[in-house]
């Protein structure tokens, strides 16, 4: 079992900005023309997540209250597949401004057409190590699927990374035994920019962002999504 599959983690600082999607060209040009030398290391791609919670909506409540130490459990896959394809179970943990992820790779798609959520969760669980199963067992309820298009940027030394997320869609999963892929919730057309870097690079990153065209916001795609599906 690899360290990643055992839930090894990387700690990083995260700073987020949010705006209407009309700001996309201005933000992208700022990155590509910045003296820090941002490059695009990967092509853009669609990111898909199923968020899980417990029956008391603990993760939702902690994020709504801004609890300093909190976690979210999600299953993530990439590409155009509407249903969960091969990917990884992720536990996104945060303490104040610092965050890290535990990742548990899943090699076989837990979803095939016709499967209900109980079957999907069982197929996912069967591919997890014991600590991944524990997280899933403690958060058994699929709350929502969200997806968005992500663009990737980083400095040439890769110390500072940035992402731009657009075209977000959210699908409520609470009301049925089978996945909802066809009835998205109504959401504003926004973009989210996130800078990610290690603690040691914080001073450099903050100085670099002094003339960034957007304002820092306490923005969460997760919280926007739960508002869209009516949890708030």
Per-residue pLDDT tens digits for 124-161? 999 999 999 999 999 999 999 999 999 999 999 999 99
As a whole number of angstroms, the distance between CA 130 and CA 147 comes to 28
Q: Report angle CA 151, 152, 155 to the nearest 5 degrees.
A: 145
Closest CA to 73 of 137, 154, 5: 137
Confidence tier at 97 by pLDDT (50, 70, 90): low
Q: Would the pLDDT of 6 be above 90?
A: no
Confidence tier at 188 by pLDDT (50, 70, 90): confident
3-state secondary structure of 69: strand
Mean pLDDT for the stretch of residues 113-121: 97
As a whole number of angstroms, the distance between CA 44 and CA 76 comes to 16
As a whole number of angstroms, the distance between CA 227 and CA 187 comes to 9
As a whole number of angstroms, the distance between CA 221 and CA 229 comes to 12
3-state secondary structure of 217: coil
**CATH no., domain 9-228:** 3.20.100.30
| Domain assignments of the chain as residue spans, ordered by start | 9-228
User: In this prediction, what percent of the chain has a pLDDT beyond 90?
Assistant: 69
Per-residue pLDDT tens digits for 13-62? 889 999 999 999 999 999 999 999 999 999 999 999 999 998 887 876 77
Helix (H) or strand (E) holding 228: helix 221-228
So what's the pLDDT on residue 10? 58
Mean pLDDT for the stretch of residues 208-216: 88
Closest CA to 73 of 161, 165, 140: 140
So what's the pLDDT on residue 56? 82
Confidence tier at 8 by pLDDT (50, 70, 90): very low
Mean pLDDT for the stretch of residues 185-199: 91
* R_g (Cα) of the chain, nearest Å: 18
Q: Hey, which residues does 148 pair with through a beta bridge?
A: 47
Q: Would the pLDDT of 232 be above 60?
A: no
As a whole number of angstroms, the distance between CA 182 and CA 83 comes to 11
3-state secondary structure of 180: coil
So what's the pLDDT on residue 218? 60
So what's the pLDDT on residue 5? 36
């Amino acid at each position: 079992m690899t360290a990643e599959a055992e839930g090894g983690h990387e700690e990083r600082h995260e700073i987020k900005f949010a705006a209407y999607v009309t700001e996309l060209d201005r933000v992208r040009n700022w990155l590509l023309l910045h003296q820090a030398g941002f490059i695009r290391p990967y092509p853009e791609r669609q990111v898909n997540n199923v968020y899980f919670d417990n029956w008391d909506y603990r993760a939702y409540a902690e994020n709504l209250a801004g609890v300093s130490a909190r976690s979210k459990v999600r299953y993530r896959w990439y590409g155009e597949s509407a249903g969960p394809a091969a990917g990884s179970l992720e536990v996104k943990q945060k303490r104040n401004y610092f965050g890290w992820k535990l990742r548990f790779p899943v090699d076989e798609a837990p979803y095939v057409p016709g499967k209900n959520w109980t079957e999907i969760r069982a197929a996912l669980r069967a591919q997890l190590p014991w600590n991944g199963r524990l997280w899933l067992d403690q958060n058994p309820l699929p709350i929502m699927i969200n997806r968005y298009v992500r663009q990737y940027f980083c400095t040439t030394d890769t110390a500072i990374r940035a992402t731009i997320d657009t075209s977000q869609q959210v699908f409520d999963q609470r009301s049925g035994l089978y996945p909802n892929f066809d009835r998205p919730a109504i959401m504003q057309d926004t973009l989210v920019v996130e800078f990610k870097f290690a603690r040691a690079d914080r001073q450099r990153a903050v100085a670099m962002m002094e003339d960034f065209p957007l304002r820092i916001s306490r923005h969460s795609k997760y919280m926007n999504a739960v508002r869209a599906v009516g949890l708030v």
